[in-house]
Homo-oligomer: A and B are copies of this chain.
Amino acid sequence: MSKVNIKQLAKELNLSISTVSRALRDSYEISADTKKKVFALAKQLNYQPNPNASGLRGQKTKTIAVVIPEMVNDFFSLVIGGIEKVAQEQGYYLLFYFTHGDYDLEVSFINTLANGRVDGVLLSMSRENHDNSHLLELNKNGIPLVLFDRVSENLDNVKVTSDNYDSAITATRHLIDAGCKKIAYLQVHKNISIGKIRMNGYLEALRPKGQTPLMVECSNENEETFEIIEKMLLNEKPDGIFASVEKLAVICYRVCEKINLRIPRDIKIISFSNLQTASLLNPSLTTITQPAFDIGETAAKELLDIIHKKSKSASRDKHVILKSLFIKRKSTSALY
């Protein structure tokens, strides 16, 4: 147990504690000579300031909380990559909280954060447009909050998302332009707002063409979803599929395989996707890919801007929308 603190440095150097403290912070009122000596000893003894002490004293922890539904998820791991890049650059630590989509857990995490554990919070909501009082409380406590991906428009905070509505329109039009006359929309979680926004894009693109929408509500269980899709394909015989999440596209692909529908000849599929899992499949699959890394990077930058008071109160309520990528694959081999 050899933790070294300022006091020991001071004693060893015959200086006062405050002089050492100032020297370490490179204060202008300390002589170059003293600084050099202090730095040398600090390095030699591997002095590390106690973060609890400075946090307690200065109300700054150089830590931000990242609250997300889950980790085992391509989208969120990419987002974290972006967050981490910014954090690293600016010397911030990252404290992670996983809500598993549990609203109560989110509330309890956020409450926990109300008292100086972190300098700011990045949050992807577990449940949108529900009771947001825990977040209002956070705002009241002066802890900056930036929302990303799963956001609520009711909150006066910075929000970062991708262009779900526009890209759903693009995706649907792509199928229409490719000659599809009957396009099915595969969805899960129809109650989360991203799902709704994407669905609205799909509906909007369909309307002027006079096509009747074909909404397919899938399940969380792969087997069940497999059956739902199989039944739908056999009964409705759509010639286009728009999958709102990648997993549905993958399952749909398997169903096509089973009932001998050739992609893209008999049926065309387009899908939202994060990593290119779906693109590993055999037929060419066109995907709408969210700029996950960018979302993380942007959200983190916005948060740190607020923390550093670079942005005035005026810009605390804004919605940054990042463009998705439309990736059309001719052949999967093109991957390499």
Binds B, one of A134-142, A168-176, A315-323: A134-142
Contact B2 A141 (CB under 8 A): yes
Binds B, one of A29-37, A74-82, A185-193: A74-82
Measured between alpha carbons, how far is A280 from B111 in the docked complex, in Å?
Answer: 41
Q: In the complex, which residues of chain B have a beta carbon less than 8 angstroms from the beta carbon of A113?
A: 48
Interface residue range, chain A: 35 or more
Measured between alpha carbons, how far is A18 from B117 in the docked complex, in Å?
Answer: 22
Q: In the complex, which residues of chain B have a beta carbon less than 8 angstroms from the beta carbon of A70?
A: 81
Q: In the complex, which residues of chain B have a beta carbon less than 8 angstroms from the beta carbon of A78?
A: 72
Q: Is A250 an interface residue (CB 8 A)?
A: yes
Given contacts A51-B117, A72-B78, A251-B336, 8 further A-B contacts (CB under 8 A): A4-B115, A63-B95, A70-B81, A72-B81, A93-B95, A223-B336, A277-B280, A280-B280
**A171-213 interface (Cβ within 8 A of B):** none
- Tell which of B52, B80, B336 touches A55, judged by Cβ atoms closer than 8 Å: B52
In the complex, the 4 A-B pairs of residues with the closest C-beta atoms, listed nearest first:
A48-B115, A52-B55, A52-B56, A226-B336
A254 touching B48 in the complex, CB below 8 Å, given contacts A94-B96, A116-B3: no
Q: In the complex, which residues of chain B have a beta carbon less than 8 angstroms from the beta carbon of A61?
A: 52
**A226-258 interface (Cβ within 8 A of B):** 226, 250-251, 254, 257-258
Write the A5-45 contact mask toward B (1 if CB under 8 angstroms, else 0): 10000000000000000000000000000000000000000
**A50-101 interface (Cβ within 8 A of B):** 50-53, 55-56, 61, 63, 70-73, 77-78, 80-81, 84, 88, 93-98
Measured between alpha carbons, how far is A73 from B332 in the docked complex, in Å?
Answer: 21
Q: In the complex, which residues of chain B have a beta carbon less than 8 angstroms from the beta carbon of A116?
A: 3, 50-52
Q: In the complex, which residues of chain B have a beta carbon less than 8 angstroms from the beta carbon of A251?
A: 336
A141 to chain B, nearest CB (A): 6
Q: Is A314 an interface residue (CB 8 A)?
A: no
- What are 25 A-B pairs with beta-carbon distances under 8 A? A1-B140, A1-B142, A3-B141, A46-B114, A46-B137, A51-B115, A51-B117, A52-B52, A52-B53, A52-B116, A53-B56, A71-B77, A72-B77, A73-B77, A84-B96, A84-B98, A93-B97, A95-B95, A95-B96, A222-B335, A223-B336, A254-B335, A257-B333, A277-B277, A280-B281
Measured between alpha carbons, how far is A141 from B1 in the docked complex, in Å?
Answer: 4
